[in-house]
Amino acid sequence: MELSRRRLIQSGLLSLAAAGIGGTAACGGSGGTAAGSGGGTTELTLWYWGGGLSDKVVADAVKQFAQTTLKPSVIGGDFKQKLIATMNGRKFVPDITGIKGENISSMLAESDRFIDLNTLGADKLASQYVEWKWKQGSTTDGKLIGFPIDIGPTALFYRDDIFEKAGLPSDPTEVGTSMSTWDTFFEAGVKLKKANPDAFIIDSAEGLFDKMVGQGPKRFIDESNKFIGDQPHIRGAWDMVIKANGLGVIAPKYDGADWNAAAAQGKIAGTVGAAWFALDLKSGVEATSGKWRVAPMPSGPANIGGSFLALPRECRDPQLAFQIVTWLLSADNQARGFTDAALFPSTPASYDLPALTGGDPFFGDQKTIEVFGPAAKNIPVQYEAPADAAVAQPFKDEIINVWTKGKNADTAWTDAVSAAKQIAGRQGVS
């Protein structure tokens, strides 16, 4: 459910992919120019994907930097694959490119293909962005490759009418206080089930596991490229999800339209998701407008999603390209990105701007920035290895097997660890 909006946007732009690539190829850089040697170029090219930047802000950048011809292209399909193929060809490489959050670790592993933005003065701007995101775009030796675009601080989305009828706290502050840990949240889920047997306090075992893993500093592979998916920080998250499943507080597995129908019927009374998930809710369960609220996620925030801008080493005018990047991603323009494309800003200064401080009718006029703003600042710094997603997948698959097929949890854990180690080995992880 959480990635559905962006997937929809992407699929809707597939038809533009060929045109985007073709158009860029016709106007892009020829490659081979050494970083830092540019200047005075007559054009710069910018690649991003649908929803990756505010189209309105990009259009204004074209006017703002009239000393060059800024040519933006929305690239559909597999963005990373097309970027890598173009960089490998060393022709028509974009001067400025987006990098999706799930791809930043693999790009950092090839940092010599990009310009260290600190050499252009990025280090002087670091304090304006949330620290953990800045570090996510940096190499271990301190080079900044990815300049932060948006982030995805998580929170608990819940139905206040269902909570209230069940005798649970319904005010966001009270929910945040009384359900500050996963244990107290699950206890509330049990109380909800007793009062309303058709309602569940959380919608997905897989999603719950994902958010729990995101709450700590370590994931499945450490910075020395060693597999650590069998260690207590992962086992602890696994055991908490198994506990919730055993208590019966997790809803049956719903996807797509079935998820929307279950939420509209009040069967799903809560879910944990990123700030941009609000758009999914608004489009998927419009009829429930005014009944949802947002509270801090139990046991602390995590991050889901978010992306970066980078300058490939072929960039024809790094100084000017960097000026464009910092203008696009200033606090004011990130606030506009939130309004235009639900891109949650990586600049805390944006959180005090009118675009984010107003009440949201869908959430009963709640000022949701009062939840997401503090969450954004408190997300832990996590190391995410290039092979992390592949190694994590067996754990998610086995959690689903326990959740939907009743597979023995210990057997599932053993199978998950075994499969993850095999994948890790094939990926060069020790």
DSSP code per residue over 102-143: GGHHHHHTTGGGB--GGGGTGGGGGGGS-HHHHHHTB-TTS-
Per-residue b/e over 341-363, b at no fewer than 16 CB within 10 Å? bbbbbbbeebbebebbeeebebb
Are 133 and 306 contacting, i.e. CB atoms less than 8 angstroms apart? yes
How far is the C-alpha of 321 from the C-alpha of 326, rounded, in Å? 9
| SS3 (DSSP) at 157 | strand
Are 98 and 309 contacting, i.e. CB atoms less than 8 angstroms apart? yes
Nearest to 250 by CA among 391, 397, 406: 406
Q: What is the pLDDT of residue 40?
A: 62
| SS3 (DSSP) at 408 | coil
- The residues, any chain, with a CB within 8 Å of residue 161's CB and separated by 6 or more, are 170, 291
| SS3 (DSSP) at 41 | coil
Structure tokens at 173: 């502050």
Give the pTM. Answer: 0.87
The distance of Cα 298 from the centroid of its chain, to the nearest Å, equals: 19
How far is the C-alpha of 244 from the C-alpha of 129, rounded, in Å? 36
Q: What is the pLDDT of residue 39?
A: 55
Q: For tokens 């879910």, what's the residue?
A: 271
How far is the C-alpha of 23 from the C-alpha of 69, rounded, in Å? 14
**Tens-digit pLDDT string for the chain (430 aa):** 444 444 343 333 333 333 333 333 333 444 333 344 445 678 999 999 999 999 999 999 999 999 999 999 999 999 999 999 999 999 999 999 999 998 999 999 999 999 999 999 999 999 999 999 999 999 989 999 999 999 999 999 999 999 999 999 999 999 999 999 999 999 999 999 999 999 999 999 999 999 999 999 999 999 999 999 999 999 999 999 999 999 999 999 999 999 999 999 999 999 999 999 998 999 999 999 999 999 999 999 999 999 999 999 999 999 999 999 999 999 999 999 999 888 999 999 999 999 999 999 999 999 999 999 999 999 999 988 989 999 999 999 999 999 999 999 999 999 999 999 999 999 999 9
Per-residue b/e over 111-150, b at no fewer than 16 CB within 10 Å? bebbbbbbebebeebeebbbebbbbbbbbeeebbbbbbbb
Nearest to 268 by CA among 212, 196, 209: 196
Instruction: Report CA-CA distances (Å) from 24 to 93, 97, 423.
Output: 9, 12, 36
Phi, psi of 51 (to 5 degrees): 85, -5
Nearest to 335 by CA among 354, 360, 318: 354
Determine the residue type at 178.
Answer: S
Structure tokens at 192: 């909800």
How far is the C-alpha of 392 from the C-alpha of 146, rounded, in Å? 24
Determine the residue type at 154.
Answer: T
Phi, psi of 316 (to 5 degrees): -80, -20
Structure tokens at 55: 């189209």
Task: Express the helix, strand and coil content of the chain in percent, nearest 5 each.
Answer: 50, 15, 35
How far is the C-alpha of 420 from the C-alpha of 410, rounded, in Å? 15
Number of alpha carbons in the 13 Å side-chain half-sphere of residue 192: 32
Per-residue DSSP letter, 389: H
Are 136 and 165 contacting, i.e. CB atoms less than 8 angstroms apart? no
Q: For tokens 């929809």, what's the residue?
A: 8
Phi, psi of 204 (to 5 degrees): -150, 125
Phi, psi of 21 (to 5 degrees): -65, -45
Q: What is the pLDDT of residue 162?
A: 98
Contacts for 135-142 with beta carbons within 8 Å, 24 or more apart? 135/381, 136/101, 136/104, 136/381, 136/382, 136/384, 137/104, 137/108, 137/308, 138/108, 139/108, 139/111, 140/223, 142/118
Burial of 31 (0-12, 13-18, 19+ CB in 10 A): middle
Nearest to 385 by CA among 424, 420, 422: 424
